[in-house]
Amino acid sequence: MPPLTDQSPPPLHAPSSGHAPVCAAPLVHTRGDRRTLEFMPGDVQSEMRLSRPAALVLAYCRAIMCFALFVPRPRAIVMVGLGGGSLAKFCYRHFPRARITVIELRADVIALREQFCVPPDDARLTVVHADAVDWLAAHPACADVLVIDGFDTAGLPPALGTARFYGDCRSALRDGGVLVANIFSYDPRYAGMLERLRLMFNDRVCWFDRIAGNNRILFAVKAPARLDPAARLPRALRLQRWVARRQGLGHRVLNRLLAHAVVAWLQHPFNRSK
Catalytic residues: 149
Give the chain as a 3 state SS string: CCCCCCECCCCCCCCCCCCCCCCCCCEEEEECCEEEEEEECCEEEEEEECCECCCCCCHHHHHHHHHHHCCCCCCEEEEECCCCCHHHHHHHHHCCCCEEEEEECCHHHHCCCCCCCCCCCCCCEEEEECCHHHHHHCCCCCEEEEEECCCECCECCHHHHCHHHHHHHHHHEEEEEEEEEEEECCCCCHHHHHHHHHHHCCCCEEECCCCCCCEEEEEEECCCCCCCCCCCCCHHHHHHHHHHCCCCCCCHHHHHHHHHHHHHHHHCHHHCCC
**d(C-alpha 32, C-alpha 195), whole Å:** 43
CB distance 219 to 67 below 8 Å:
yes
Closest among 53, 30, 210, 181 to 117, alpha carbons compared: 53
Bridge partners (DSSP) listed for residue 35:
30, 48
Residue 261 neighbours by CB distance under 10 Å: 12
